[in-house]
Amino acid sequence: MSVATVRGGVPYVLRDSVTTSGRKVRLPFYMNWLKVRVSGNPCRLYFTEEDFDADQNYVLIPVPAAATPHGEWEGPVETCAGSHSDLWVRGDGGVSSIELVAFQRRG
């Protein structure tokens, strides 16, 4: 039996500006951990295309402030084949500069 860690894997980094129209983030692999940093305006992170289209069920990533000094969100997020293989992002209130780091799921 092996012990798996939550973090690790090969990182995929995306730096981009996202408007309020938003866009799909096509990942080159399935991931197990995600970290997103923003500046400019907050960013909405969606895990399905249906939620993106309906503008519901998203995580709001805040800009740096006293309560959130780094303006980031991170956590265990696994993607898999089908409707959960990619992510969608949208600027909230204007253009959001994002840095998205996804870690590859192994095994």
What is the extent of the structural domain holding 22? Answer: 11-104
Q: Place 3 in a pLDDT band, splitting at 50, 70 and 90.
A: very low
CATH at 53: 2.60.120.10
Q: Does residue 3 fall inside a structural domain?
A: no
pLDDT, tens digit, 9 for 90 and up, residues 67-101? 777 789 999 988 888 777 899 999 999 999 999 99
Q: Does residue 4 fall inside a structural domain?
A: no
- Extended strands (E) in 28-86: 31-39, 43-46, 59-61, 72-75
pTM comes to 0.85
How many domains does the chain fold into?
1
Q: Place 7 in a pLDDT band, splitting at 50, 70 and 90.
A: low
Q: Does residue 1 fall inside a structural domain?
A: no
Q: Which two tokens stand for residue 88?
A: 């969608």
Give 58's DSSP letter: -
For position 102, what pLDDT does the model report?
A: 93
Q: Does residue 5 fall inside a structural domain?
A: no
Helix segments in 10-63, DSSP class H: 49-54
Phi/psi at 61 (5° precision): -95, 120
